Structure 1
Amino acid sequence: MAAAGSRRVPRAERERQMLDAAVATFARRGYRAASMDGIAEAAGVSKPLVYLYLNSKDELFSACIRREAAALTAAVRDAVQDGATPEVQLRSGLLGFFEHTAAHPDGWTILYSQARTVGEPFAAEVAALRAEIVDFVAALIAAACGSQEVAGYAHALVGAAESLAGWAASSPSADRSPKDLAATLMTLAWSGLATAVPPAPAS
């Protein structure tokens, strides 16, 4: 029987605590150096409980990738303003991306650095995330310019955003806000995209 005044932690909350601890540990120590003992200690649970919930280190790392990928995708989608001009939609999507990566540096490290370098199947999971974001950006551009030949634009824009976020994360002395990063990329990208996207009609 539980001690008086103790509270049974719901499974979903316990898993969230474990994933929070795992994301921080993997991001800061790297996949290979991270240990299940260290993750359990950081989460405030026993190692057997981590294995009970998430089976293995590989499955725990995959769960971290899936959670952080879903959160990043949602942040980009939610930031885009419905009914706005193509320029505003792209700018708001980029701002959502940079705000999320700045607010969740450990999650971004998992996706941008760790998962890509550890190997399969983790790299494939991140590639699936990237393809989803590229498709979303391509749909925005295609809807604006009435053409489906926009894959190159979308890949270039997503790749540039990833590179810029990686630079900002690894160069804290740069002191660039998410708004600054979004503005920098729009300055670079929009002059080219504007040739494919017609200007918004005058109101």
Structure 2
Amino acid sequence: MGAVKGKRVPRAVREQQMLDAAVITFARHGYRAASMDGIAELAGVSKPLVYLYLHSKEELFSAVIRREAAALVAAVTAAVEPHAPADRQLWSGLTGFFAHTAAHPDSWAVLHQQARTQGEPFAHEVAAMRAGLVDFVADLIGAAARESECAADLPAREVAGLAHALVGAAESLAEWANVPPEGAGSDDAPPADPRAAAERTAATLMNFAWTGLHRMMTGERWGPGVAAESPGVGD
């Protein structure tokens, strides 16, 4: 009697295993230094099988970017609390962003460091993801303006600029959030609970950005040579 053959792994499962291995390899070695041999070995498959499924290193990298970008966007949108006030929705979405990037550091390294520096078409893939996040944040800012009954005071271009700034700040904070500074004490270290760490980082950004947004929505504007009035002065 012949040997019993092992159970065949479905193509979709095998492909995800290859993508998982590719994320780790690209994040830790960089796109140019990453090898298909190394990816195949980490995935536990032959190199010809990687080429059969994903055709080339370039197509493999593009597939990785698309999958990881979709996962990040899904995490952000799923984290938003529906029907909550706009500020709470924005905070919960930021929390989802920071929680996902902290839980998937290799994925974030591919999106934020590798893909952006390798030219087209990779940079375009990441730009499309970022544009989606900017539109999402702009919608939340617009909703907040409507809640404050000042939509006319925030032109669409200004809302778009604020959304770009907020997304850029979130991207920068994601690099910083879970790395305590050298010589930092226990008060400076990220919370042991990853969710608490994400919430604290989101609150840091909200305290920086939302206070200014709220003041804009009430009609207060900064300008060079215009002194801001302190709360309670003259009351």
- In the superposition, the TM-score normalised over structure 1's length comes to 0.91
2:204 aligned residue:
184
Structure 1: distance between partners of 2:28 and 2:80: 31
Question: Equivalent residue of 1:133, what SS?
Answer: helix
Shift of 1:86: 1.0
Task: Call closer, same or farther: CA 1:3–1:43 in 2, change over 3 Å.
Answer: farther
Shift of 1:180: 1.8
1:159 aligned residue:
168
Question: Equivalent residue of 2:51, what SS?
Answer: helix
Contact 2:65/2:125, CA 8 A, preserved across alignment: yes
Q: Counterpart of 1:92 in structure 2: which amino acid? A: S
Question: Equivalent residue of 2:215, what SS?
Answer: coil
> Which protein is bigger by CA-based radius of gyration?
2
1:115 aligned onto 2:115: yes
Contact 2:76/2:93, CA 8 A, preserved across alignment: yes
Structure 2: distance between partners of 1:116 and 1:145: 33
Structure 2: distance between partners of 1:4 and 1:59: 35
Contact 2:95/2:198, CA 8 A, preserved across alignment: yes
Q: Gaps spanning 5+ residues in structure 2: where?
A: 182-187, 191-196, 219-235
Structure 2: distance between partners of 1:70 and 1:158: 16
Structure 1: distance between partners of 2:172 and 2:203: 15
Mapping of 1:2-21 within 5 angstroms? 3-4=3-4, 6-21=6-21
Mapping of 1:87-166 within 5 angstroms? 87-146=87-146, 147=151, 148=156, 149-166=158-175
Contact 1:145/1:196, CA 8 A, preserved across alignment: no
- 1:44-81: CA deviations, max 9, x gaps? 00000000000000000000000000000000100111
Structure 2: distance between partners of 1:64 and 1:86: 32
1:24 aligned residue:
24
Q: Counterpart of 2:132 in structure 1: which amino acid? A: E
Structure 2: distance between partners of 1:128 and 1:164: 20
2:64 aligned residue:
64
Number of residues of Structure 1 aligned to a counterpart in Structure 2: 196
Contact 1:138/1:151, CA 8 A, preserved across alignment: yes
How large is the RMSD of aligned CA atoms in angstroms?
A: 1.6
Quick check: 2-11 or 158-167, which moved more? 2-11
Q: Counterpart of 2:55 in structure 1: which amino acid? A: N
Q: Counterpart of 1:4 in structure 2: which amino acid? A: V
Shift of 1:118: 1.2
Structure 2: distance between partners of 1:81 and 1:143: 14
Structure 2: distance between partners of 1:20 and 1:175: 30
Q: Counterpart of 1:156 in structure 2: which amino acid? A: A
Instruction: Quote the sequence identity (%).
Output: 68
- In the superposition, the TM-score normalised over structure 2's length comes to 0.79
Structure 2: distance between partners of 1:181 and 1:196: 23
Task: Call closer, same or farther: CA 1:80–1:122 in 2, change over 3 Å.
Answer: same
Shift of 1:124: 0.8
Q: Counterpart of 1:99 in structure 2: which amino acid? A: A
Q: Counterpart of 1:168 in structure 2: which amino acid? A: A
Q: Counterpart of 1:111 in structure 2: which amino acid? A: L
Q: Counterpart of 2:206 in structure 1: which amino acid? A: M
Contact 1:86/1:197, CA 8 A, preserved across alignment: no
